Amino acid sequence: MQPLIAGNWKMNGVASQLHEIEAVAASVKATLPSTEVLICLPATLITRAVQTAAGRIAIGGEDCSAEISGPFTGDFSSEMLKDAGACAVIVGHSDRRQHHGETDAVVAAKAKAARRAGLLAIICIGETNAQRLAGNALSICGDQIAGSVPKEMTASDAVIGYEPLWAIGSGQMPTSEQIIEMHAHIRACLTQCFGAEGQKVRILYGGSVKPSNAHSILALPQVDGVLVGGASLKSEDFLAICRAAPALNSPTVNSQKEQ
């Protein structure tokens, strides 16, 4: 599977940081032409980042409404993100589940909306520390897959982001064994829900991915890419992570990629 290296800037980034996008795009184009690289940004930056990236890397959003349009002040639809130049969107990030009360049903509706607009949905799941300590990590993530991934999803319009909440921004990492066990479980759940299509959906790992650990994470055959928070803000760090990806052919996410 073509690994996907995705960044998530979260609520960070103004115009003066677009040079980080330029640096990533220039280096990916020059040295990693077959690595699939996506940076998800605050909606306010998307259009300018798309112009800066100029097709060399893909740009995505961090959330979208399930609705197309209407009286939803402050929200934006997947169609609006697409119109701004995005080709992907994160849905169900734990920041949204925790701080905005998003349920699996809400996340599934947003993933459906992404598909409707032709955006790749990065559907995030993950357990809390308490859930892991109680021995429930696998069942929690299995339930999130069953509830958050719409039945009509295909491998070309969805990616799963496994992000254990206790690893996000903490510097704490699951062991390789824990990542392998969880990713194998997610694969089994996807296959159970989606049959052969479930075999093809990429499963990204996220949570404290850094240049220092990217190689060992991306070397795991169960890991099809990474979702990077803090380390995606600095082009040097993010590029080091991109370089750790085994490069294959034919990127799929980047519809803007130069021919």
Interacting residues with ligand 13P (CB under 6 A): 8, 93, 163, 168-169, 206-209, 227-231
| Residue 39: strand, helix, or coil | strand
158-162/120-125 β-pairing: parallel
Complex with ligand 13P: residue 50 or 227, whichever CB lies closer? 227
| Residue 230 marked ligand-binding | yes
Closest to ligand 13P by CB, 132 or 194: 132
- AA identity, residue 227: L
Catalytic one among 79, 102, 163, 183? 163
The answer to whether 139 is a known ligand-binding residue is no
CA dist 128 → 98, 104, 158 (Å): 11, 15, 23
State in angstroms the smallest separation of the CB of 252 from ligand 13P: 20
In angstroms, give the least distance from the CB of 159 to ligand 13P: 12
Radius of gyration of the chain (CA): 17
| Distance of closest approach, residue 203 Cβ to ligand 13P, in angstroms | 14
What secondary structure does DSSP assign to 83-117, as a single string? HHT-SEEEES-HHHHHHS---HHHHHHHHHHHHHH
215 part of the active site = no
Residue 215 CA to residue 242 CA, distance in Å, equals: 9
Active-site option among 20, 62, 93, 127:
93
- 8 versus 78: smaller Cβ distance to ligand 13P: 8
Burial of 43 (0-12, 13-18, 19+ CB in 10 A): middle
Report, in Å, the least distance between residue 49 CB and ligand 13P.
17
Measured in degrees and rounded to the nearest 5, phi and psi for residue 178 equal -70, -40
Residue nearest to ligand 13P according to CB distances in the complex: 229
Beta carbons within 10 angstroms of residue 48's beta carbon: 17
Tell me: is residue 208 an annotated ligand-binding position: yes
Nearer to ligand 13P, 79 or 95 (CB): 95
163 has catalytic annotation: yes
Q: Is 110 annotated as a binding residue?
A: no
229 is in an annotated binding site: yes
Which residues belong to the annotated binding site for substrate?
Answer: 8-10, 169, 208, 229-230
Which residues belong to the annotated binding site?
Answer: 8-10, 169, 208, 229-230
Active site residues: 93, 163
